[in-house]
Structure 1
Amino acid sequence: MASDLLFCLKPYIVKLTLVALITAIILWAIACKHEIPLTTPDTGGGGNVDSLPTGGTCSPDTVYFVNSILPALSSGCALSGCHDQATHQEELVLSNYNGIMRIVTPGNAIESKLYRVITAGNEDIMPPPPHAPFSSAMIASIRKWIDQGARNNQCISACDTSLFTYSGAVAPIISINCKGCHNPASLGGGVDLSTYNGVKVVALNGRLTGSINHASGYIAMPQGSNKLQTCQIRQIEKWVQAGANNN
């Protein structure tokens, strides 16, 4: 009797089993849906970047770490013998976000060691003499970045390749990204980029464009930091091709 009942119910059991199996497969597929991970650009070490390169253009009311703070500190503080990876004086490496944040109090520049040392009026000032101190404009940018939360952010800066004069395009790029390591007090590679004449020399002999393009046979510049934006590289290239004039 029981066997006859089981025989009669067998088709229904098979159907129920198939329905349960299909349902389980559907639920598994939903649960295992993968999101494509977003890749963040290299910021010289550590930290999540708030704005990816595919984001919007820079806001004039915001200071961006990757665009201005990192290049300035890498050039002015992460020097050989100071706060680079090799020397890490005082156990500080100031060529990446994580290292810089060790001396930053987000939202409070006044309480941040970074801000205090770049504004110190004595022998404690950084960069130390005979290195040139940060400009008042850069100090203001660092303070604003800290007070805005010291985020590891970046944006796409407005860049026009039709502008490629020395004063309007090349000099500002060199000042932020290169001059800290290439000045009379710190002649990295024996190169002085603190004056037009010094920049002109490496422009005409090919070292400038070779380095910023990370070309084979040249030391990649800015050293230990991000490659310049494609637009900035093109501005420099066009200036060099036009004769590297002091315009």
Structure 2
Amino acid sequence: MQLKHQLLAAVVLAYLLMPACEREPAVVPGPNSTINNGTNPSNPTDSTDTTVNTMPCDPDSVYFEQQLLPILVSNCAMSGCHSTESHRDGVVLVDYQSVRTTSGIRLNDPTDSELYEVLSDSDPEDRMPPAPRDPLSSSEKAMILAWIQQGAQNLHCDQACDTVSVSFSLHIAPLVQTQCAGCHQGSNPSGGVLLNNYATIREQALSGQLVGTAAHLPGFQPMPPAGAGISDCEVRQLELWVEAGAPEN
């Protein structure tokens, strides 16, 4: 009987000394992490921001600050229209929060969203941007509709930065079209500066204006004037292209 008790005590002691069950380690978000909890990390009371940290970029997703906001800022957020100061018809299109709350987004009926309707209106008198400014391209309007259909989220991703084979056709022209062309087109371009083709873009590039305004260098007016602005990667691509002589490649 004594041996039996000794064996039982040994078993109990071994059980107590066993390590606790291993669990997946808790992941603590870092300072740059975002969690899709329906709130804006910079404003916990804001329930409209649906920031999601998604890396790498998904070609089927629309990334608001990287893809869509520059189009709105360049074409709509200038002085007299939908800038913070002008806020025409109460609509401000300079950042995610203002677009979500003032542009009539309807997630349950995306094509009936005011933002999409005014950009797609066939009447030059009613559409935005108004005539004589050029309307948004079909691909730009399709992107805005897709963004609403996907929940009008503020998605983020990390894009690879190509600084090896920078070209006008693949990097510079799309950048200028997205970030600058809305203000610098037509018969009355902003500041009298046209950026509507290779020749006009090259002229501004070789004069130093293009890099100076994009990089916010001293003595230059920062452009674009609102929104997320041009990324460090895009500024470096501009610099490399200009350093190479601004070729039409």
Q: TM-score, normalised by structure 2?
A: 0.77
CA offsets 1:164-196 (integer angstroms, 9 cap, x no match): 111111000010111111112441122111111
Aligned to 1:180: 182
Deviations 1:78-130 (A, max 9, x none): 12211112221112111122222222112532120111111111121111111
**What SS is found at the alignment partner of 2:221?**
coil
- Relative to structure 1, is the Cα distance of residues 116 and 66 closer, same or farther in structure 2, using a 3 angstrom cutoff? same
1:150-165 → structure 2 map (5 Å cutoff): 150-165=152-167
**Number of the residue aligned with 2:114:** 113
Contact 1:107–1:149 (CA under 8 A) maintained in structure 2: no
2:57 is aligned with what amino acid? C
Structure 2 residue aligned with 1:221: 223
| Greater shift in the superposed pair: 184-193 or 204-213 | 184-193
CA distance in 2, matches of 1:238, 1:95: 29
Cα pair 1:203 1:209 within 8 Å, conserved:
yes
Taking the aligned partners of 1:236 and 1:170, their CA distance within structure 2 comes to 7
Q: Give, as a single letter, the amino acid of the residue that structure 2 aligns with 1:176.
A: T
1:67, 1:49 → 2: CA distance?
Answer: 16
2:214 alignment partner, one of 201, 212, 215: 212
Aligned partner letter, 2:121: A
Tell me, in whole angstroms, the C-alpha distance in 2 between the residues paired with 1:39 and 1:223.
27
TM-aligned CA deviation for residue 237 of structure 1: 0.9
CA distance, structure 1, for counterparts of residue 156 and residue 196 of structure 2: 26
Query: Which amino acid letter does the alignment assign opposite residue 67 of structure 1?
Result: Q
**Within 1, Cα distance between the matches of 2:50 and 2:211?**
28
Asked whether the 8 Å contact 1:107–1:148 carries over to 2, the reply is: no
| Distance change (3 Å), C-alpha of 1:181 and 1:61 | same
Q: Relative to 1, partners in 2 of residues 1:49 and 1:242: Cα closer, same or farther, differing over 3 Å?
A: farther
CA gap of 1:166–1:36, structure 2 versus 1, over 3 A, is closer
1:87 and 1:109 map into 2 onto residues whose CA distance is 26
Q: What letter matches 1:62 in structure 2?
A: S
Q: Deviations over 1:145-178 (max 9, x none)?
A: 0000001222222331123111111000010111
Where does residue 139 of structure 1 map in the other structure?
141
Partner of 1:20: none
Aligned residues: 210
Is 1:69 aligned to residue 68 of structure 2?
A: yes
SS for the counterpart of 2:174 is helix
Tell me which amino acid in the other structure corresponds to 1:95: V
- The residue type equivalent to 1:58 in the other structure is C
* Cα shift at 1:38: 4.8
Alignment identity in percent?
38
The one-letter code matched in structure 2 to 1:115 is Y
CA contact (8 A) 1:163 1:235 kept: no
Which residue does 1:24 correspond to in 2? none
Does the 8 Å contact 2:96/2:154 carry over to 1?
yes
Q: For residue 120 of structure 1, what is the amino acid of its counterpart? A: D
Aligned-residue Cα RMSD (Å) equals: 2.5
Query: 2-side partners of 1:181 and 1:146: how far apart?
Result: 24
Task: Report the counterpart of residue 105 of structure 2 in structure 1.
Answer: 104
Indicate conservation of the 8 Å contact 1:107/1:150, yes or no.
no
User: Given that residues 214 and 223 in structure 2 are in contact (C-alpha distance below 8 angstroms), is that contact kept between their aligned partners in structure 1?
Assistant: yes
Question: How many Å separate the matches in 2 of 1:225 and 1:203?
Answer: 22
What's the offset of the Cα at 1:142? 0.5
* Aligned twin of 1:193: 195
**Contiguous gaps of at least 5 residues in structure 1:** 1-33
Q: How does 1:41-52 map to 2 (within 5 A)?
A: 48=49, 50-52=51-53
Question: For residue 207 of structure 2, what is the amino acid of its counterpart?
Answer: N
AA paired with 2:119? I
How many Å separate the matches in 1 of 2:165 and 2:144? 27
